A and B are shown apart, each in its own frame.
Chain A
Amino acid sequence: MPVLGRLTPSRLGALACTAALSASSLAVLYHVVDVVGDLRVFWVVLVGSLLLAAIAQAVRPRTALAVGACLLGAGLLAYVLTAPESYARSLTVASVLDDAVALLTGYSVLRMVNVLVWALAMVPAPAFLTWYFALRGRDAAAVGVAGLALGFFVLTGDSTATATLVGALAAAGAVGLGTLDAHGATRRQLETLAVALALVAVAPLVVTVTPGGTGAAFGGAATAPSTSLTNADERVGLGGAIDLSPNVQFVVRSSSPAYWRVAVYDRYTGSGWVRTGDGGSLSGPDGPSEPLTQTVTAKRPLSAMPAAAEPVAVEGVDYRVTSGGNPVPDGVLVANESYRVISERPRGGRRALRTAGANYPAAIESRDLQVPDTTGSRVAALADNVTAGATTPYAKASAIERWLAATKTYSLDAPAANDHLVRTFLLDSDRGYCVHYASAMAVMLREEGVPARFVTGYAPGKRTATGTWTVRGVDSHAWVEVYAPNAGWVRFDPTPAGPRADAERAIIANASSSSESGGGDVGATASTSAALSTSTATSTTVSTASESSATTTGAVTSTGASANTGPLGGDPTLPAPRVLLLWAVVALGVAAVVRRLGLLERVRRAVWVRWLPRGEPAAVVAGAHERMLYVLGRRYRPRRSGETVREYLDAIEAPVPARRLANLHERARYRGEIADDDANEARRALRALRGENGRP
């Protein structure tokens, strides 16, 4: 092993940086495998790749590159072979290119249907090549490979902010340390490296160009207040901000009220929900159904098309259909734009589930039973416990629903968590709102082998006239749909109705009272943020604001702090590790810059130049002469070693006072001849010299 021959601290540092970079790119794949598959497989593949890299040390780089390419090719082949038939059928060069472009412009890999095979296929090639080069001491090549992998996930938007930051820093660190190691580093060079790393850390604060939007390292993008539930985004974060605006969103004319569904999500990632696949078609439920015609009129710009479950026909606007079977407008619906939807509502409601068996279609089974590996066995055990005795899917669903209502507290003030919100909600915090309830129920049902999915949309709203329902932002909601063979998706709403309605009323009352005082939209917006300050949503916003330092959200922070006596008010929280890391790197960089520019030394010198020694004339003359050389050195160039003062003054064509002072000093030094007046003469000369262009 060539690497063991010369293990220096720089070398070890470079290897550690490479490891960090490699880990930050593999973290995405680890997460994917965790969400959709078995982590043991991931470890087996990874360790195998690393072993291969160690064994392959003997071969030449060209051969290793070929091996890497083969691994990648084999992985992609496996992906294509295991892809759903429909995908394989439509496989063309154009569609492959199309997919690549989609991925590189922010299409999360988690939305790929067959992502497990894909993720496992992507592990070996980068891991192998990275460590092949790293162990050979070729840091640039290792960083190139691992950086490419990380860059790919940054572009798809899957890499978290922390991982991206760590990866970028590690990449710079690995190349820097590796180069310094190769040439024998001095402390100055290490300082330069620290400055460069600080720049890497700070630069993303200023510019974000990644299409996935998660590139902003410290914008808190990982916990970004993602979606108001009013749009039909492909993913939704748990514990994210919800647009609980009291404003009217849309008005529905319909013969009967319904839950206005907006989006359907099938893949639970631990921190949110993702909808896999790209497009679908409008189709009615599998079982018997009855039609319902609705006319929806947007009252504010809408990027979604709320409709009762299983819409089958849409008129009035251009739209496309998501893989969940929901229509989405092309563009945004403007205020007062309206459309007509015909939905087929499953007949029989929940009862359909009661008689349904457990004979699920394969497509449903593979998609709607997924739970991340790392959710843990305690959640599964809890689900078993809650549903003990229940034999049918319906009994299980009702048991879970009852249990949630009995043991959990409805609260908009649920603590924010990045990972495994369901686990936190179920096992630790016990408080949450609709998103928590619905997610928890879906996950528990899946643990019990009942296909379930997470749905967002709006509660029916308030009836304002016969057959007219007015829906406001506060009606945005999340619930669960459970699959019943031969019937279709059956809606369950585990969120307790009472507390939710109370919260709604409070927000609306709050809004109307302040719009009386403030008037119009401005007042409404202000009161919204005041009301929101009691919710998790704002706690996320506030912490984001403090992380990203000076952003305009400072206003929200102050509103929240003044209007709020809740737990948020006086809770000093330790900054997140990411923030600490940022400050550490920045502090290191600043220290290095200060040292590099010699700022302290310059300040000392500036004082020193103005402070002339007193006392012995000889000391005064010598001191003035020394300062003169410093001043001239700053103004022209320093005297070179080996250059006499006379030569120096001639070379820089020094001004007269300098020559006068030099002459005084020469006489004092080489003749030992000094007069009392010489000290004053030297002072005058130095002053004249300093004053010449007003600065030392």
Chain B
Amino acid sequence: MTDGSATSATDDATGPLPVSDARALVERVTENVGRVVVGKADVVEDALVVLLARGHLLLEDVPGVGKTVLARALAGSVDGAFSRVQFTPDLLPSDVTGTNVLDEAEGGFDFRSGPVFGNVVLGDEINRAPPKTQSALLEAMEEEQVTVDGETHALPDPFFVIATQNAVERDRVYDLPVAEVDRFAKKRTLGYPSVDEEVEVLGRVVGHHPVDEIEPVTDVAELRRARETTARVETAEPVRRYVARLAERTREEAALGASPRGAVSLLRCAQARAVLDGREYVVPDDVKREASSVLAHRIRADAGSELGGDAAARVVERALADVDPEDP
């Protein structure tokens, strides 16, 4: 569904897209990705929610369920710069951000940008790299800029990171610290495909992989305008209060509750969800829908337990059941 008129409209127009156009864009991308990734429509939708909400996505699962394919398909659907960093234990921060290289011809230092300078950046197996290297990426995510040798380089806009991490081999990985996990707007798992889906997958990948043939269905300019639309979605006081009370409730229930940054992410994702629903205002349903995937990975249910996990998901569930969205 390569909508020619919509794409051409982005070329000259500025300012936010109409909500209906933003929604159409999301549908286009979802369908395009769906040509490569079998099933997982909800994960694709979540990824686009994060993209519109100006956040970053963390995918966690066992190896081989299609995390990387999903990220590549998503990146390929956008006509923009895509880069990929395979994190390994010996990866250095400069391998991510880039380095100043001595330019012998001009007699100065020339900044050679690293893979982080892209519109869609895939950080593969981020938890296999040492913390120092992880934090190079995470600082870039937070500040949307990179500083090398005292020189600051702005990252492109949009800048969207999809990081994956392995849920197995826990002993050979560096778990992301709380402060860094918190920087991902959302964390999702993919899960194994059903038998039918797997049959479909097997049928598609025989020969050459379809992800290599994916065509972009939007460009960075349109994406920027859609993000602007999302930022302008109305969040009424009752909704903001609802979000705040949910966050507060997780703090009462868990050893470590959702941070204010988590609350901000939740509200932004709710805005994106409203766009996906074709609405110019957020309703509590949007918040409820986003709450679990936005908040759970920031919560430590009991002191000493892991971040996220089933217990944290239950904390969010309880908060959703307890806090009444209709309270004045």
Contact = CB atoms under 8 A, between A and B. Distances in A.
Residue of A645, A646, A671 with most partner-chain B CB within 10 A: A671
Contacts of A92: none
B52 interface: no
B234 interface: yes
A670 B282 contact: yes
A44 B234 CA distance: 87
A671 B232 CA distance: 12
Nearest to A668: B236
A644 B320 CA distance: 10
Given A639-B326, A644-B326, A670 B283 contact: yes
B239 interface: yes
Interface string B288-328: 10000000000000000000000000000000111111100
A616 to B, nearest CB: 16
Nearest to B282: A670
Interface string A669-691: 11110000000000000000000
B125 interface: no
B139 interface: no
A675 to B, nearest CB: 15
B238 A669 contact: yes
A615 to B, nearest CB: 18
A647 B283 CA distance: 12
A120 B281 CA distance: 86
Interface in A630-685: 639-647, 666-667, 669-672
A642 B283 contact: no
A642 B324 CA distance: 4
Label chain B's interface by main secondary structure.
mixed
Given A644-B288, A646-B283, A669 B236 contact: yes
For B239, B283, B285, B326, which residue has the most chain A Cβ atoms within 10 angstroms? B326
Nearest to A667: B281
B285 A647 contact: yes
Given A642-B320, A644-B288, A672-B236, A666 B283 contact: yes
Contacts of B282: 670
A624 B262 CA distance: 35
B118 to A, nearest CB: 36
B326 A671 contact: no
Interface size range of chain B in the complex: 10 to 19
Contacts of A670: 234, 236, 238-239, 281-283
A647 B280 CA distance: 20
A642 B285 contact: no
Nearest to B317: A642
A667 B236 CA distance: 10
Nearest to B238: A669
A642 B322 contact: yes
A670 B236 CA distance: 5
B320 A671 contact: no
B114 interface: no
Interface in B212-253: 234, 236, 238-239
A463 to B, nearest CB: 96
Nearest to A666: B283
Contacts of A646: 283, 285
A189 B324 CA distance: 28
Interface string A134-148: 000000000000000
B284 interface: yes
Contact of A644 (B234, B280, B281, B283): B283
Contacts of B324: 641-642
Nearest to A625: B326
A667 B283 CA distance: 9
Contacts of B322: 641-642
Contacts of B239: 670
A667 B234 CA distance: 11
B326 A645 contact: yes
Nearest to B319: A642
Interface string B8-20: 0000000000000
B325 A642 contact: yes
A382 B102 CA distance: 139
A666 B285 CA distance: 11
A361 B197 CA distance: 113
A583 B326 CA distance: 46
Contacts of A667: 281
Contact of A671 (B281, B323, B325): B281
A672 B236 CA distance: 8
B306 to A, nearest CB: 26
Given A642-B320, A644-B325, A671 B234 contact: yes
A73 B276 CA distance: 87
Contacts of A647: 285, 288
A646 B286 CA distance: 11
Nearest to B284: A644
Contacts of B238: 669-670
A380 B323 CA distance: 82
B32 to A, nearest CB: 30
B236 A641 contact: no
B203 to A, nearest CB: 36
A131 to B, nearest CB: 49
A404 to B, nearest CB: 84
B222 to A, nearest CB: 25
Contacts of B325: 642-644
Identify which of A640, A642, A671 gathers the most chain B CB atoms within 10 Å of its CB.
Answer: A642
Contacts of A645: 326
B236 A671 contact: yes
B149 to A, nearest CB: 49
B243 to A, nearest CB: 13
Nearest to B321: A642
Nearest to A641: B324
Interface string B99-122: 000000000000000000000000
Nearest to B320: A642
B273 to A, nearest CB: 13
In this complex, which of A639, A643, A644, A647 has the most chain B Cβ atoms within 10 angstroms of its Cβ? A644
B285 to A, nearest CB: 5
B319 to A, nearest CB: 9
A670 B325 CA distance: 12
A641 B321 contact: yes
B234 to A, nearest CB: 5
Interface in B77-97: none
B236 to A, nearest CB: 4
Nearest to A671: B281
Contacts of A644: 283-285, 288, 325-326
B280 A671 contact: yes
Contact of B323 (A642, A666, A669, A672): A642
11 contacts: A641-B322, A642-B320, A642-B321, A644-B284, A644-B285, A645-B326, A670-B238, A670-B239, A671-B234, A672-B234, A672-B236
Given A642-B322, A671-B236, 12 more contacts: A639-B326, A641-B322, A642-B321, A642-B324, A642-B325, A644-B283, A646-B283, A669-B238, A670-B234, A670-B236, A671-B234, A671-B281
Which 7 A-B pairs rank lowest in CB-CB distance, beginning with the nearest? A671-B281, A642-B321, A641-B324, A670-B236, A644-B284, A670-B281, A644-B325
